[in-house]
Structure 1
Amino acid sequence: MAENNKDMTLKEIQFLIKHIEKGSLKDIEDIRSEEEKKENSRRLVLKLIEEFGELAENIRKNLRYNGENIKGTIEEELFDIFYYIIAIANDYNIDLEEIFHIKDKINKEKYERSFSLEEARKEYEKNTK
């Protein structure tokens, strides 16, 4: 892991990607037309699909990051997929952290999981100290 990195929250990652996509850290008004917004959504989804294809190829070839060059690795493609999923969520003003909590409650019941998100968080904190 790179030096001086601290864990980021999902909200921080969404903020970062939102501003990367805008090209500025300033909160600038979105003045795109509805057609431009639709076209951007299409672009993001197509990029996501492209990255899934690249991930599949890299998994087939078992191309892993060795600490030197991340280009063309499973790790790079997973990052790219994560990026585009978050960019799509941002495009639709979806708070992924909020949705994660909502969907987790549904899935806990649906799959009869024996622990809650909060219990998992406590266990994670206990094991990472």
Structure 2
Amino acid sequence: MESKLHLKENPELKDFQNYIAEMLEERGFAGQSIEKIFMLFTEECGELAKAARKSDGMHVDGNSEHFEVAHELADVFNYLLDIANYFNVDLEQAFREKEEMNKKRTWQRPE
């Protein structure tokens, strides 16, 4: 079956969230528990860490050779969007609100 999914040129963050919701529906993964989504998200974060280690020339086991930072970032992004959708969070709005709060904070850099 050919996919009917399409992500428009120059998508906004909400477009990515909508795309992920449609993709999960089309592929039969919609409606997963938040526990399962978080486990998969955490797994992808681990794969991103392995890819980053590999990219920095650190030792990784032989099974980790296929990990690429860009691909693992995309996987993490997919699951982050799925989590946001699960909780009905508009990520762009949440980012803007949180950044306005952060602008008012006093930041201290660690030594």
TM-score higher than 0.5 here?
A: yes
Paired residue total: 89
CA–CA separation in structure 2 for the residues paired with 1:57 and 1:75: 12
Query: What TM-score results when the alignment is normalised by the length of structure 1?
Result: 0.62
With over 3 angstroms needed to count, the CA separation of the structure-2 counterparts of 1:57 and 1:97, relative to structure 1, is same
Which structure is higher in RCO with an 8 Å CA cutoff and minimum separation 6?
2
Q: Is the 8 A contact 2:50 2:67 kept in 1?
A: no
| Runs of 4+ in structure 1 over 6 Å off | none
1:13 and 2:4 aligned: no
With over 3 angstroms needed to count, the CA separation of the structure-2 counterparts of 1:110 and 1:87, relative to structure 1, is same
1:72 and 2:72 aligned: no
- Aligned counterpart in structure 1 of residue 50 of structure 2, from 47, 51, 57: 57
Deviation digits for residues 65-84 of structure 1, max 9, x if unmatched?
xxxxxx62010100000110
Please state whether the residue corresponding to 1:77 is helix, strand or coil. helix
1:83 and 2:71 aligned: no
Q: Offset at 1:6?
A: 2.8
With over 3 angstroms needed to count, the CA separation of the structure-2 counterparts of 1:111 and 1:80, relative to structure 1, is farther
Q: Offset at 1:110?
A: 1.1
- Aligned counterpart in structure 2 of residue 97 of structure 1, from 87, 92, 97: 92
Code of the residue aligned with 1:81 in structure 2: it is: V
Q: Offset at 1:52?
A: 0.9
Structure 2 alignment gaps of length 5 or more:
1-7, 57-65
Query: What TM-score results when the alignment is normalised by the length of structure 2?
Result: 0.71
When the two chains are superposed, the root-mean-square deviation of aligned CA atoms in Å is: 2.3
> Identity over aligned residues, as a percent?
31
Please state whether the residue corresponding to 1:23 is helix, strand or coil. helix
